[in-house]
């Protein structure tokens, strides 16, 4: 797998132990000076609730576990949960409320890139920290954000490489929800495919609104596009609850994985829980973690998750692991800095390494992205994924794509003295905020 030349740029105060730490759930409210507040900014209603509600629950579990260990800096952690309701401007309002009113030390949240873009000015203005746990389109490195989900070179590019080399795909359907993540990701993928010699006529691009429910004509068009005698695949950046009718319509029209495989970037175990997966066996997803990964770390995480949620049927997924990594990195950086002050934590967290759930370690790099393995999973009839491909090592997240003219000369490094999110290696100048 090709890695961008900049991708290789990678890179204490102990917490006081509190006795008899009880789980967070059911505890009375703590006084402000007795707790460290942690913001949880995930949609609990609207089109993205299907994906984001589980992340709220995962964060409550992580905070609960940390309190059982004695809290942080001698204080309990207190979760502050808000519901931005899949409303992108409301994300910014709720972020401001968490920081200005609730006085949270850090925020874990957002799913869509449009929600993340909505809150960026708030975190910069109020100088707080956001841990963003979902794969995204890259082309960004902001000082106040830590990107614990995949950059395109940690998901989209390896997925296309897999389809080319293993599935011998020659025609490409780039299907996405109509917002910044799919559009920018597909812009990168279109450039990458053409760089690999794919003709423009062999690339079909389609966008649909959030919550799209009628897929009959679109799937029929995909079917026609795939009947030209060349192996065809769908690269899906469809987000949220629109995935349910999309996959149902694929089955209705008899599109099987061996004919036109779909590789999804936003469909994991949680989304499959609401679908009859039998007709979808063989379709693919590209992530950096699957629940089916067989490691002691993952087995222990799943055990704790089921105990916390009191339901052994609940699944885990990639963004949950990203929150697991990001939360543990934040804890370690706060302990290292001896304070929750954002400036001190931002400086302390670069280089911090914590275990992931696939048996290795994730490291926070100077560009505020982390190292990850890349996994391709095949959907099974039980709603789980069988891993059919894994990169031989960890892939460092690249904030700026090698395949776009406006970003190929940019690097990000938030260490002093550079402290720049978009430094142009040709001009020797910093472009500004990094977004």
Least Cα distance to 269 among 152, 379, 108, 110 occurs for 379
Task: Say whether both 163 and 69 belong to one domain.
Answer: no
Q: Do 109 and 142 fall within a single domain?
A: yes
389 within domain boundaries: no
Residue 414 maps to a domain: no
Q: Are residues 259 and 343 in the same domain?
A: no
Task: Specify the 3-state DSSP secondary structure of 252.
Answer: helix
Does 126 lie in the same domain as 12? Answer: yes
> Domain holding 57: CATH number?
3.40.50.2300
CA–CA distance, 385 with 65 (Å, rounded to integer): 27
**Are 147 and 91 part of one and the same domain?**
yes
Chosen domain end from 242, 257, 287: 287
Cα(182)–Cα(174) distance, rounded to whole angstroms?
9
Please give the pLDDT value at position 435: 67
> Residue 337 forms beta bridges with which residues?
none
Among candidate residues 272, 287, 302, the one where a domain is terminated = 287
Higher pLDDT, 5 or 269: 269
* Reported pTM: 0.87
Same domain, 57 and 92: yes
Using CA atoms, how far apart are residues 385 and 388, in angstroms rounded to an integer?
9
Q: Which comes out higher in pLDDT, residue 431 or 40?
A: 40
Looking at the structure of the chain, the number of domains it has is 2
Same domain, 122 and 257: no
Verify that 239 and 203 share a domain, yes or no.
Answer: yes
Calpha distance 320→300 (Å, rounded) = 14
Q: Is residue 406 part of a domain?
A: no
Residue 387 predicted with pLDDT over 80 = yes
Say if 173 falls within a structural domain.
Answer: yes
Whole-angstrom distance, CA of residue 402 vs CA of residue 188: 9
SS percent in the chain: helix, strand, coil, step 5: 35, 20, 45
The Cα 145–Cα 143 span in angstroms is: 6
Which comes out higher in pLDDT, residue 10 or 234?
Answer: 234
Pairing status of strand 410-413 against strand 420-424? antiparallel
Q: Which pLDDT does position 8 carry in this prediction?
A: 32
Q: Are residues 279 and 307 in the same domain?
A: no
CB 228 within 8 A of CB 255: no
Residues 256 and 346 in one domain: no
Residue 381 lies in a domain: no
Burial label for 218, CB within 10 Å (0-12, 13-18, 19+), is middle
200 pLDDT more than 70: yes
Cβ atoms of 406 and 187 within 8 Å: the answer is no
Domain that holds residue 99: 5-152+293-372
CA nearest to 265, candidates 300, 235, 241 = 235
In a domain, 181, yes or no: yes
Final residue belonging to a domain, choices 287, 311, 343: 287
Whether 200 and 275 map to the same domain: the answer is yes
At residue 141, the pLDDT reads 97
Q: Is the domain of 336 the same as that of 228?
A: no
How far is the C-alpha of 181 from the C-alpha of 88, rounded, in Å? Answer: 14
């Amino acid at each position: 797998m090709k890695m961008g030349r900049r991708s290789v740029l990678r890179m204490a105060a102990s917490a006081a132990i509190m006795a008899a730490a009880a789980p967070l759930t059911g505890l009375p409210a703590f006084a402000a000076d007795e707790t460290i507040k942690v913001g949880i900014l995930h949609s609990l209603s609207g089109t993205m609730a299907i994906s984001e509600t589980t992340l709220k629950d995962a964060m409550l579990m992580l905070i609960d576990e940390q309190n059982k260990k004695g809290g942080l800096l001698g204080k309990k952690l207190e979760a502050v949960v808000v519901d931005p309701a899949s409303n992108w401007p409301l994300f910014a309002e709720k972020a401001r409320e968490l920081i200005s009113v609730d006085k949270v030390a850090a925020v874990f949240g957002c799913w869509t890139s449009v929600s993340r873009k909505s809150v960026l000015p708030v975190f910069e203005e109020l100088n707080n920290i956001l841990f963003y746990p979902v794969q995204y389109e890259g082309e960004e490195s902001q000082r106040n954000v830590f990107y614990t989900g995949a950059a395109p070179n940690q998901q989209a590019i390896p997925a296309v490489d897999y389809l080319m080399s293993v599935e011998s795909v020659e025609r490409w359907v780039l299907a996405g929800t109509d917002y910044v993540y799919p559009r920018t990701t597909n812009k990168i993928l279109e450039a990458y495919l053409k760089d690999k010699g794919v003709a423009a006529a062999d690339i079909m691009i389609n966008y649909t609104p959030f919550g799209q429910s009628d897929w009959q004509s679109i799937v029929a068009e995909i079917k026609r596009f795939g009947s030209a005698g060349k192996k065809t695949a769908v690269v899906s950046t469809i987000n949220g609850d629109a995935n349910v009718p999309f996959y149902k319509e694929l089955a209705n029209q008899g599109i099987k994985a061996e004919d036109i495989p779909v590789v999804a970037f936003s469909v994991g175990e949680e989304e499959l829980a609401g679908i009859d997966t039998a007709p979808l066996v063989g379709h693919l997803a590209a992530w950096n973690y699957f629940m089916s990964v067989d490691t002691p770390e993952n087995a222990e995480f799943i055990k704790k998750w089921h105990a916390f949620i009191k339901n052994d049927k609940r699944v885990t997924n990639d963004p949950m692991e990203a929150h697991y990594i990001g939360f543990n990195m934040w804890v370690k950086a706060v302990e290292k800095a001896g304070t929750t002050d954002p400036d001190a934590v931002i400086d302390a967290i670069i280089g911090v390494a914590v275990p992931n759930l696939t048996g290795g370690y994730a490291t926070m790099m100077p560009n505020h992205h982390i190292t990850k393995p890349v996994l391709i999973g095949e959907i099974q009839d039980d709603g789980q994924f069988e891993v059919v491909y894994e990169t031989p090592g960890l892939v460092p997240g690249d904030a700026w794509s090698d395949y776009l003219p406006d970003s190929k000369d940019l690097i990000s490094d938030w260490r002093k003295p550079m402290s720049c999110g978009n430094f142009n290696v040709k001009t020797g100048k910093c472009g500004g905020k990094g977004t």
